[in-house]
Amino acid sequence: MRLAKYLAQCGIGSRRETCRLVEAGRITLNGHIARHTDPIHLDESLNCLDNIELDGAPITKAETLAYWIFNKAVGTDCRLLEQDQTSLIHLLPKVPRLYPVGRLDKDSRGLLLLTNDGELTHKLMHPSFSHSKTYHVRLDRSFTDDFVEQMASGVRYKDLQTLPCHVQRLSSDSFEIVLTQGLNRQIRRMSKALGYRVIDLERIAIMTLNLRELALGELQEGQMRPLTESEVAELKAVLAIK
């Protein structure tokens, strides 16, 4: 197994975060500074046969992979900051250790996936995979059909050009948008570039997970729960994860 994948399965963080730890020289393997290409040797029970340390503290065993969903409320900060009382970290269970897959900004609400599976996080987050996330958005006033067409074809703001996406009107002042990009505050900035202000933004779906479906619809804002085995299997199937 590759080092980054093993570290991610140990609950150290996503693959991207564990790569940063390796680049910073904070991971040692059998007494030497680890490299990204280093393999990890496991026995038949998937116990590590190598001596791996983070900042001198041993990393001994991969955690059981866990997958939860959280219906985030406005005001919760997805950054895991102990000193911030609005941080998601104060709502997470102590066991298993969970990390958010991507973020919803503090003013937004809706579906957030929590896991310690670094491979799944990588598949969902890396832009090369172009996985879909669906949002319901309400603006500060009614908009025209031209607005829908402009949002769908891509919007330029600052030095960025967003990719074409699916946009569908829901009412005179609200719409559904399906993104495969993950730019910071993308929907708010797209809307602002066209002269509108977002007053409510809810993520309703991440790939196969949908808050509007019966199984997930009972989850109230601020609540979280583990995914069922079938929900995990369905998500992994579309991500091509065994």
On whether both 165 and 181 belong to a single domain, the answer is yes
On whether both 141 and 235 belong to a single domain, the answer is no
Structure tokens at 22: 């390796």
On whether both 166 and 107 belong to a single domain, the answer is no
pLDDT of residue 162: 95
pLDDT of residue 240: 81
On whether both 72 and 170 belong to a single domain, the answer is no
Instruction: Give the Å distances, CA to CA, from 145 to 97, 150, 162, 171.
Output: 45, 9, 19, 11
pLDDT of residue 113: 95
pLDDT of residue 215: 58
Q: How many Cβ atoms are within 10 Å of 114's Cβ, its own excluded?
A: 22
CA 38, 44, 49, 54 torsion: positive or negative?
positive
On whether both 111 and 83 belong to a single domain, the answer is yes
Clarify whether 105 is annotated catalytic: yes
DSSP string, 189-221: HHHHHTT--EEEEEEEEETTEETTSHHHHT--T
Mean pLDDT of the chain: 88
Q: What is the CATH number of the domain that holds 175?
A: 3.30.70.1560
The catalytic position among 50, 55, 84, 105 is 105
Q: What is the largest CA-CA distance in the chain?
A: 63
On whether both 213 and 119 belong to a single domain, the answer is yes
On whether both 165 and 228 belong to a single domain, the answer is no
Q: Looking at the 3D structure of the chain, how many domains does it have? A: 3
Q: What is the CATH number of the domain that holds 24?
A: 3.10.290.10
pLDDT of residue 74: 97
Domain of 181 in residue numbering reads as 132-206
Q: Distance between CA 20 and CA 77 in Å, rounded? A: 23
Enumerate residue ranges in the chain where pLDDT < 70.
11, 13-14, 45-46, 61-62, 127-128, 214-217, 242
Q: Distance between CA 110 and CA 112 in Å, rounded? A: 7
